[in-house]
Structures are given as structure tokens and as C-alpha cells.
Structure 1
């Protein structure tokens, strides 16, 4: 039985289409391209990959096409049912905190969403511990985090920030916790150093945290769809240039961290 917050389940089942966001919106396309770029940089060829929190398979699809053997795990039954129709990877219902996979059974474990929605530090620690457990010695655990500045930057850039709703963003900035009233669902937002500390605390070594989208994320988010193609290459180049710059790592919406077992 998966212990999933009903608000999170409702959000992803009824209100939010991850595949659509990563393919159609300007920011989503930048995030997708950069996530592909970083994973291809880090993953060994033909790896056994466990995609925990893989939703409907937006990343599992291309990973399988790249020659990896992918198993997708997600707590939302509707996501798993959709992912299972793809046919190039396996998909099952599961909880990042209680994986059914055996010890040291995969080369790479991806947590590209679970740490967003495990608000309690103990739950995030358990998910990372499970990811380490199922990963072979020398293998990689790769985890995404939402930048704590992200919601405030986005709202301030698209005209949605006002004196009336400012407290939603400043409260989340102070605590890292989002209660689901600001437009996004129940979530936890990280600082870059905090995400690195959580991976290190789980026993992973050689931990590195990079910025995913870079400073152009909000520009692309507010770019007309017909103009995104022209701006995307420059945005990717900029993100790549500043991905590890401590002064700019928090300019985008997401972090991607990796550590080795």
C-alpha cells in the first residue's frame, strides 16, 4: 500500500500533466533538454535504471531508447497504467520509501520527483537510503530538488506576485514547505547545499549538485510558444555555462544531484 498524500494524488491525477509540461511549455522544454543532457553525461552505457517517481514515463521512454533497461516505479496508479502501455520498459506501483527491489540490484537509481513531495526530512532520508540500498556498489543515485527560490522568482516574473499572495511564497521560502495553496501541490523546496547534505547523509560519496535550467528559465516560461525554438539553444548554453556557479545555481527552478554508492 502506497502512503500518498491525497492532495498530491489529486493534483497529479486530475490537474497536472507532466508529459505535456515538459514537451510544450518553454520552461518545461528547457528542463527536459537539460535533464537529458545531465543524465546522458552521468549514466554508464546500457545500465539497469530504476526510475522512482517516473510518472507516465517521460524520461523512461528516452532512457529505454538509449539502450538502458528501465523499471519505472510511481505511487500514482493512473501514471503506472499509462506508462505500462509504452512497452519498452516495465512499470509498477511503489513507494520511494519502501522499494521492493533487492539490495544492489540496479546500476542507477533516479529520484526525479520523490524528494519534492516528501515534506518530512525523515521521509526524504528514508527514500535516499532505499535508493542507496538498491544501487550496486559504484553505482549512482541521482535526485532532483525544487529550488526554494523558484516559486517566488516565477511569480515575480510572470505578473502573478502581489501583496495579497506574497506570503504564500515567502513562507515557503522560509520553511521549504509548500502547503498547496499557491498553485502547486504539497511539496518541499530545497537549497542546493541542503540537497547535497541529504545525499551525503544517506551515505553517498562524490556528491555534486548542479542547476538544471539556469537564468533563462523564466524568460522561456513567458516566451510565446512560436518563439521558444529560437531561444532554446541559447538558454541551454547559458544553463550549461553556469550550472555549478554558486552565484547562479539558484537562478532556475530545479537542481539535479548525483552521488555514488
Structure 2
């Protein structure tokens, strides 16, 4: 967990979600989550909610939001959001009674739990704290994300990057070499497109679906993508296009992030 703490201590996660592919990730996650939320003012637990990118709009919509995150900087920032309670905690052992919440959102923990048993524990905990009939929505990173990013940004000429991608594809475990650039990310687990649904079902969730969050939209050049997202008509056209293939199996692996949703 030291690498995780060091990476997020830079305080750049919030800014990442404000433009380009990060903003697309935020907008599409919000859009997908809204389909499954109970009516406000239901309670929502935002597990690994970082600085509160999702907690902010959930609280604004009238939900009672409890955010838990392992990074002190994140908890401090999220605590300043009106209507959000935030605390330090671990996705594998939540400090909450069974059935405490109407909905659980887990964007982040599954990225950083490299061991299958730890990911299974996070899924079980999310299911445990949601009342029967409620939903758990969890984000994962695609097994092919670094490969596609390398192609997109011309990084495959770097031998270290190429070797890292080879390990990603073989094992799912993403470990940037020591001294690698910040934007190579930190130690992470990259899921095969069908893998998160298998984990969700193993935790006892039913009616499980997996969605491409950004689809192929994240591969649009950053400045062009950001301009499209800022203009209402262009944004709606792009979001409409991504909805058309959001559950298409042949497209899931092209999306940088996936959202898997199941019923408790």
C-alpha cells in the first residue's frame, strides 16, 4: 500500500477528472450509477471515494453520503463537501453494520488490491453493508488499458514501458519500474472484461452487468475530447454513441475503465 499512498499523496486525482478522458470517465460513471440508485434521500457508501468526485454530486442530489478511503489527504478533502461524512478505512473491512446502506459505490479499491482474496473481501464487504435488494457498483481498469494508452501516446518505443505492458497482459498485475514517470500509474490490478462480473457473483451478487465506461471515447485526442465535453450538443452526441456499445463484449476491452453492477 506504500505505492498507493505515495501516488495519491501528490493530490492530482481530483484534477484528473476535470478534463479530457478523466472528465469522460466521471460523466459516464455518474450516468451509469444513476440508473441503479434508489430515490434520495437514501444512504450511499462511497468506498474508496478519494476526494469526493462522486460524493459531491450524490450529496448535491440529496443522498446521505458516507465516504471511506485509505488516504488521509482524500478524506480531508472529502470531509469539506457539504453533506458528506468521510473517514479513513479499508474496503476489505468496513466499519458498518450489515444492510446499513441503500447503495454501495466502489471506484478505486479493486484497482489497488492485487491479490484475488483481497478483491473478494472488498466485494463481500460492499455486498454486506448494502440492504437486500440494493445495488453495488464497482469500477475496474481493463487488462488492455496500458497497451492502448501506449499505442495512443506513442509510449511503446520505451523498452521499460513495453516490458511493463507485457507483464500486465500476462498477469493483470501492473507494476511500473522504479523511477518510471508519474503517468505510468502505480501498482494496480487490471481486470479482464469478464472478470469483475465473476468476482461479483462469487460474492453473492445477482443480476450482474458490466458496462464500458469510456468505451473508445477516451482515445480521442485530449484537447478535442475536452472541447466536445464542454459543448452541450457535442457532449450529448458523444455520450449517445458510447451508450450504443456500452455492453457489447467486443468493445469492453477497449474501454479504459469498466463498471460492474450487481444486486445484493
TM-score normalised by structure 2 residue count: 0.92
Counting only pairs closer than 5 Å after superposition, residues 4-153 of structure 1 correspond to structure 2 as: 5-14=1-10, 16-24=11-19, 26-46=20-40, 47-153=42-148
Answer yes or no: is 1:167 the counterpart of 2:170.
no
Match of 1:252 among 250, 255, 258: 255
Residues 160-194 of structure 1: CA deviation (Å, up to 9, x unaligned): 22151311112111100011336110100001211
Give ranges in structure 1 of 5+ residues lacking alignment. Answer: none
Distance 2:226 2:198 in 1: 38
User: How much has 1:223 moved relative to structure 2?
Assistant: 3.3
Deviations along 1:100-141, one digit per CA (max 9) or x if unpaired, are 011111011111110000000000000111111111011111
The CA distance in 2 between the partners of 1:104 and 1:66, in whole Å, is: 22
Shift of 1:233: 3.4
Equivalent residue for 1:216?
217
Q: How many residues are paired up?
A: 255
RMSD between superposed Cα atoms in Å:
1.6
Separation in 2, partners of 1:18, 1:236: 23
Which structure 2 segments of 5+ residues have no match? none
